[in-house]
A and B are shown apart, each in its own frame.
Chain A
């Protein structure tokens, strides 16, 4: 079965640079969620989109923005990167048919030097 696809899987950036993370949800899923997981920590909810509209917002810094496109893929844009942004970034997707169940992608490991 198709799963959530995230790219890139690994990304290394310098401080103050920008980064763009991409998420391709499971086919026919219309909702995407972004989570950030620091080393040894719980995943923390950042933001979610339903049918291309922002549906919920968590602890997402103002330096970050995200959107969902017409093909339902989503991009997380991160600017003015800081050392503390180094983390695993997960995307999850769901649909009406999955109910509240969210399916997670493999994550993007971002390292800020």
Chain B
């Protein structure tokens, strides 16, 4: 994914609704993908990860879907809560297992 600069795409949802955040990744050799949540002034916080040999993984209220054919990741948040408001980044890592390459962030705003 490319940086979106100063204008982050924003997803606005009503509290209790489900949220879907999408991300396109760039390297077909990447074999590990992570979603991070970043609140204002804080460091990225790990949410959920998935390896390239899977196409779906579920956590508590979150699901990550991986479509390797089109190099697309999505994060689904069930019953979105005000505390979910943050910027969400996807990140990819290749089989060297080291540096993370972040995709463009999406700002999630939850309306009470």
Contact = CB atoms under 8 A, between A and B. Distances in A.
A43 B102 contact: yes
Interface string B82-112: 0000000100010011111111110000000
Contact of A56 (B5, B98, B105): B98
B32 A100 contact: yes
A105 B42 CA distance: 8
Contact of A45 (B43, B49, B101): B101
Interface in B44-60: 44-46, 49
A106 B43 contact: yes
Q: How large is the interface on B (under 10, 10 to 19, 20 to 34, 35 or more residues)?
A: 20 to 34
Contacts of A56: 96, 98-99
Contacts of A40: 4-8
Interface in A1-47: 4, 33, 35, 39-45
Q: How large is the interface on A (under 10, 10 to 19, 20 to 34, 35 or more residues)?
A: 20 to 34
A90 interface: yes
B93 A100 contact: yes
Given A40-B7, A41-B5, A100-B93, A48 B98 contact: yes
Interface of A: 4, 33, 35, 39-45, 48, 55-56, 58, 90, 92, 100-107, 109
28 contacts: A33-B98, A33-B99, A33-B100, A35-B100, A40-B4, A40-B7, A41-B6, A42-B1, A42-B102, A42-B104, A43-B44, A43-B100, A45-B100, A45-B101, A48-B98, A48-B99, A56-B99, A92-B43, A92-B100, A100-B32, A102-B46, A102-B100, A104-B45, A106-B41, A106-B43, A107-B41, A107-B42, A107-B43
Interface of B: 1, 3-8, 32, 34, 36, 41-46, 49, 89, 93, 96-105
Q: Would you list the 3 A-B pairs with minimal beta carbon distance, nearest first?
A: A104-B43, A42-B102, A40-B6
